[in-house]
Amino acid sequence: MDETFERLRALDGKRVWVAMLRAKDQNGPAVYRSGDFRLFDRPGAASNPVTRIVDADGLSLVTFRGSDTLSVVDGALRVTLRSSFRIDVLDRPFPPQAGAAAAMTFERAARELVAELEAGFRSALILRPDPDPAASVRARPGALPVEEGPLIDNSVRFAVGHAAATLRPEGDDGIRLTCIGSSLRAGRQFADLFEPASGARYAFEPDEIARLGADVRAFLSNRRERFVSFSGSA
């Protein structure tokens, strides 16, 4: 049996740790998360089985595709999405890495969110601007040009389908999340504003940034149980 498939089978059903490295030439700090490995998972009742690593809500931290390059490197399952994005998977926490304790900033938090959201949603994710344009899939030769530079309010925006999430810096040590979801009511389409019920502000702390990622992932997956609507349609 192929070593890579052996590793896939060995990880099935286990708690795993992932290191997501999204940077030009794969040179930079990784983003670390953990979840449950599901080798043959059905995200929906009618969907085909797919390999995923899911968070506590059963939502995709990492989605594997048949075109992904899989290998085993230094004991870790490696998933290569492109030359600027790879994901390593272990059945134990990764050892501390140099630079992991660097101070959190809005830009660094946005880069972390891009890595975990693209790993989960893949090409369904739309973002503007890309905080690391050199690592974007659109940075490849022949692709559409990458939008560079911040938006006028310094926000970063993510969207999947009709759901969108916006991150804005709040003060020197926090981020505010606001979300917009569209819905049809009485034959008309409405855009509704949502914020997390537990609070829309996230401090620059590792646990808070991980919580932010989980909340954005939930909203973009149309899981709105933890959100409140300001238009009365939650």
Class of domain 3-90 (CATH, top level): mainly beta
The residue among 47 and 193 whose pLDDT is bigger is: 193
Q: What is the per-residue pLDDT across 94-116, written as a single tens digit (0 to 9) for each?
A: 998 765 667 889 999 999 999 99
- In angstroms, the CA 224 to CA 196 distance is 9
Amino acid 174: pLDDT: 95
CA distances from 184 to 27, 189, 218 (A): 45, 4, 20
Total-model pTM: 0.89
Q: Which of 34-38, 88-92, 228-232 has the lowest mean pLDDT?
A: 228-232
CA-based nearest residue to 56, from 198, 222, 215, 232: 215
Share of the chain residues as helix, strand and coil, in percent rounded to the nearest 5: 20, 40, 40
pLDDT at 142 over 60: no
pLDDT at 9 over 90: yes
Amino acid 150: pLDDT: 57
- For the chain, the domains span 3-90, 106-229
- Given pLDDT bands bounded at 50, 70 and 90, which one contains residue 144? low
Residue whose entry in the numeric block shows the structure tokens 């999340």: 177
Instruction: Locate the DSSP E strands across the chain.
Output: 15-22, 31-41, 50-54, 60-63, 69-73, 76-82, 85-90, 126-128, 156-160, 163-169, 174-185, 188-196, 201-203, 227-229
Tokens of 212: 């932010």
Q: Which of 58-67, 142-151, 167-176, 182-191 has the lowest mean pLDDT?
A: 142-151
Residues 165, 219 contacting (CB under 8 angstroms): yes
Q: Which of 14-28, 29-43, 173-187 has the lowest mean pLDDT?
A: 173-187
Q: How confident is the model over 178-201, as a mean pLDDT?
A: 87
